[in-house]
Structure 1
Amino acid sequence: MKKVWQRRPPAYLFPLIILFIAIVLFIPYKQAIIFQYQNTDQVLAYIPLSKEHKFKMKYTHSIHLTDVVESYEVTKKQEIRQYELEYMDFAIGMPADASEGERFEQKDGKFYIKDMNRIFPFFDLRTGKVRANHRVIFQGKEYPLSESITPGTWVRIMVKKINTWQQLKGVNILEHT
């Protein structure tokens, strides 16, 4: 009868497997618009980016109770540029005119400030509990933030590469509705 020898895997194989798993889980590679909890690294929700780099934030103004739409795009430097503002009322908190280099328009009962060039590394938002009903508009579709983020939560919105672990722990807004 022949003896069958079982060979043990080389000692370096186990650490290599662990290193590979760590790289796959923790190296950021997926560019996304992220909604992180306050100013921590905890990703609550995200929108993966590929070809489309524009998005809008829509909310109901707390005083005049009409919709406001802020339009943004991701720059090549991974910053957020506001390029347009749309609203329906000059009430408290809304601009009455455009700043230098911007255009003010009135069309179909709405007011627009166009050609904005306001660049932000991030912006903070407290999601509305009562009236605001914050929504993200991406690729022409509205996604209510209340379905992904607890109302009343302070989030920091920025563009960042995220890793597989963050994707697993956060909510992909595009898949959550």
Structure 2
Amino acid sequence: MARGKRSRKFIMTVLLLLLLFLTVYFTPFKTALVFQYQNSGRVLAYIPVTKGDKFQIKYTHSIHLSDVIERYSVAEDQQIKLYAMSYEDFAVGMPENALEGERFEHKNGHYYISDMNRLFPFFDLRVGKVRANHILILAGHEYPMSRYLEPGTWVRIKIDRLNLWQQWKGVNIHE
């Protein structure tokens, strides 16, 4: 009889520990800038961020072949805020003026739009195959996206909380 109680106690303890492990393992806790495969939710790469962090995406425009820099920050409620951008030439897809409340300037051969307050839950990007050379810039460090993501891949970029499983499956760009 005592043996049966010990067995049940042991099994209950093992099940409780397993439940605790699974809860910890699958509970999202780390906020990150996440690169997902298309709109599947599958994490390809990520870099830890906190609210207020600023990052940039720099790339070579495919038509006029000059640098474009988009400046973002991590906003409330896991939103991404586009707050400024700069580029050298007007071409397909480049703004020719600022929206209301924004500032448009031309100086030293570059166009600047600042005071932007454009919020996105996510945005999609196709990692350049030929000349785009997309670079993520965070805290003064440059991370060429083609090092972490297959060129030509469509990625969804968003702020998300990751659990241990997702962190293990994706590539931490910062490491």
Whether 2:79 is the aligned partner of 1:79: answer yes
Q: CA-atom RMSD, angstroms?
A: 1.4
Distance of 1:36 and 1:71 partners within structure 2: 20
Give the 3 Å change call, closer, same or farther, for CA 43–88 of structure 1 in structure 2.
same
Unaligned runs of 5+ in 2: 1-5
The count of residues paired between Structure 1 and Structure 2 equals: 169
SS of 1:12's partner is helix
Tell me which residue corresponds to 2:3. Answer: none
Give the aligned residue type for 1:163.
N
Pairing 1:164–2:169 present: no
Match of 2:133 in 1: 133
Match for 1:25: what amino acid? Y
Matches of 1:81 and 1:129 in 2, distance apart? 26
Shift of 1:108: 2.4
Task: Report the Cα distance in structure 1 between the residues aligned to 2:108 and 2:69, rounded to whole angstroms.
Answer: 15
- Which position in structure 1 is the counterpart of 2:119? 119
The CA distance in 2 between the partners of 1:124 and 1:113, in whole Å, is 21
Q: Residue 52 of structure 1 contacts residue 139 of structure 1 at CA under 8 Å; is this kept in 2? A: no
Q: Counterparts of 1:1-177 in structure 2 under 5 Å?
A: 10-50=10-50, 53-175=53-175
- Distance in 2, matches of 1:172 and 1:108, equals 37
TM-score (norm 2): 0.91
For residues 20-67 of structure 1, the C-alpha deviation after alignment (integer angstroms, 9 at most, x for no partner) is 221121110001110001111200000101465211111100011111
1:52–1:99 Cα change, 3 Å: closer
Give CA-to-partner distance per residue, 1:72-110, whole Å, 9 cap, x none.
111112111100011011233212211111101123221
The amino acid across from 2:111 in the alignment is F
Q: Distance in 1 between matches of 2:107 and 2:47?
A: 31
1:37 alignment partner AA: Y
Q: Which amino acid aligns with 1:32?
A: A
Which structure features the higher share of helix residues?
2
| Normalised TM-score (structure 1) | 0.90
Moved more, 47-56 or 22-31: 47-56
3-state SS of 1:77 partner: helix
Equivalent AA in structure 2 for residue 10 of structure 1: F
Q: Which moved more, 1:61-70 or 1:48-57?
A: 48-57
Q: Output the amino acid matched with 2:113.
A: I
Distance in 1 separating the partners of 2:11 and 2:32: 38
- Native 8 Å contact 1:102 1:116 kept in 2: yes
Supply the distance in 2 between the matched residues of 1:25 and 1:11 (Cα, whole angstroms).
Answer: 21
Conserved in 2, the CA contact under 8 Å of 1:71 and 1:84? Answer: yes
Partner secondary structure for residue 116 of structure 2: strand
